Amino acid sequence: MIALRLNDLRQHSDILRLRSGGSLTVRFVEPRDAEGLQGYFRSLTVRSRYNRFLGAMSELPRTELDHFIHVGEGDRFSVVATMLVDGIETLVGEARYAFDADIGSFEFGLSIDDRWQGQGIGAALLKNLECRAAAFGAKRLFGDTLRSNAAMIGLARKSGFAFMPSPGDWKLVRFEKHIDVAPQEIPCASWRLAAEQIAHQAAA
């Protein structure tokens, strides 16, 4: 598994090409993002927020926001997806994931700003998460979503995830994918860093 050095977090940033031709930056959240992230969650529609947090929430509670911006705390990580709009870095999506090294699983949730949905950003971000999971050495990635969340179910289906009941909650469905794809096919900075680290250890 890759050992993330907190002072190296910026090295894990990726620039993804979107089908619109635009580019999307995916990077770890930084403390300077706290207010922007809170503003982002507040600006989501009630439905998107409900779907993201599996319940009614107008914004992130302070303590939760604090967890969001402390990358790596409790093996949990937050990334933001940003685009340059009129030269200004604009937050268009986010994802949070947890890696459980004992069982090799990578659990995640994500959202895209309502104004930017339907443009392939969710699919691009999800592919990037697959590579980040592979860089950890995860064997599978999964998430839980409301059975009524057609967009997330559609995105997961299109991205090759399988579906199963979510343990303990009939309102949720679990989507899961085994990581058998060679990460070279979905390159990301985390994977390249992990590969370098492995090569370095082998040479030592």
Ligand X SMILES: CC(C)(COP(=O)(O)OP(=O)(O)OC[C@H]1O[C@@H](n2cnc3c(N)ncnc32)[C@H](O)[C@@H]1OP(=O)(O)O)[C@@H](O)C(=O)NCCC(=O)NCCS
Q: Name the residues that contact ligand X, by CB under 6 A.
A: 48, 51-52, 109-112, 117-123, 143, 145, 149-152, 154-155, 158
* Tokens, residue 93: 């999506």
Are 139 and 178 spatial neighbours (Cβ–Cβ below 8 Å)?
yes
Smaller CB separation from ligand X, 159 or 197: 159
Rounded least distance, CB 204 to ligand X, Å = 40
Residue 162 Cα to chain centre, angstroms: 18
Rounded least distance, CB 67 to ligand X, Å = 17
Rounded least distance, CB 194 to ligand X, Å = 25
* Tokens, residue 174: 């679990």
Smaller CB separation from ligand X, 2 or 121: 121
Smaller CB separation from ligand X, 122 or 183: 122
Are 114 and 94 spatial neighbours (Cβ–Cβ below 8 Å)?
no
Residues 6+ apart with CB under 8 A from 39: none
Smaller CB separation from ligand X, 80 or 155: 155
Long-range Cβ contacts of 148-151 (<8 Å, 24+ apart): 149/51, 151/51, 151/117, 151/122
Rounded least distance, CB 202 to ligand X, Å = 37
